Amino acid sequence: MKIKKTHLLTVLCFILAASLCGCGKDKDKKDANEASSEAYLSYNGTDIVMGSNFDAIKDKLGNETAPSETIQPCDGGDYVTTIYFYEGIEVTKLERDGSIVNIALSMNGNSDASICGKIKKGDSTDSVKEAFGTPESEDENMLNYTIGTSSVVIYTDNGVVTGAALFPAQ
């Protein structure tokens, strides 16, 4: 009897673990929280994820299009941020630990960058909703989503994606 209970417990643990491994990866889901476990921006063959170490991926992003800008905190905090500019994207790094705290798909430049490998500048708002589901909020100029631990704001103009920003969810 003890062997059967152990065997049953092992099988149940395996089933639970297997079901958890599949969470957030089902491409057929239309809920943004289920469509991807974390928000990311794909650029130059590199996936940029919020919180990852910028120095580890910097060389993969290519040449900067403008000198980086270092910004001192205006609230007296002990953090300094640096913004790096590439063709069509901006990446903001927190200097304290080197982590990425903001990724922006800018309206300027021609970039092949995509949001979660699904949406690019020039795509329609209908394409965004098809990819990520119903936004948490929207107006005529933006769609707001929470994907994983990131807030994703997709900027639009006349129903067309013009840019996006990813930052830590509040």
Task: Give the pLDDT confidence score for residue 108 in this predicted structure.
Answer: 63
Q: Give residues with Cβ within 8 angstroms of 30, minimum separation 6.
A: 130, 132, 133, 134
Task: Give the pLDDT confidence score for residue 110 in this predicted structure.
Answer: 66
pLDDT for 40-88, tens place per residue? Answer: 988 888 998 888 888 899 999 989 999 999 988 888 777 788 999 988 8
Task: Give the pLDDT confidence score for residue 113 in this predicted structure.
Answer: 87
Write down the number of H helices and E strands in the chain.
4, 11
DSSP codes of every residue in 151-162? EEEEEEETTEEE
Task: Give the pLDDT confidence score for residue 29 in this predicted structure.
Answer: 31
Task: Give the pLDDT confidence score for residue 168 in this predicted structure.
Answer: 86
Residue in 89, 3, 11 with CA at minimum distance from that of residue 44: 89
Task: Report how far residue 151's alpha carbon sits from residue 12's, in angstroms, rounded to the nearest whole number.
Answer: 35
Task: Give the pLDDT confidence score for residue 52 in this predicted structure.
Answer: 85
Task: Give the pLDDT confidence score for residue 11 in this predicted structure.
Answer: 30
Mean pLDDT taken over the chain: 77
Longest dimension (CA), the chain: 71
Pick the CATH number of 25-168 from 3.40.33.10, 3.40.30.10, 3.40.50.300, 3.50.50.60: 3.40.33.10
Instruction: Give the residue extent of every domain in the chain.
Output: 25-168
The answer, yes or no, to whether residue 158 has pLDDT greater than 50, is yes
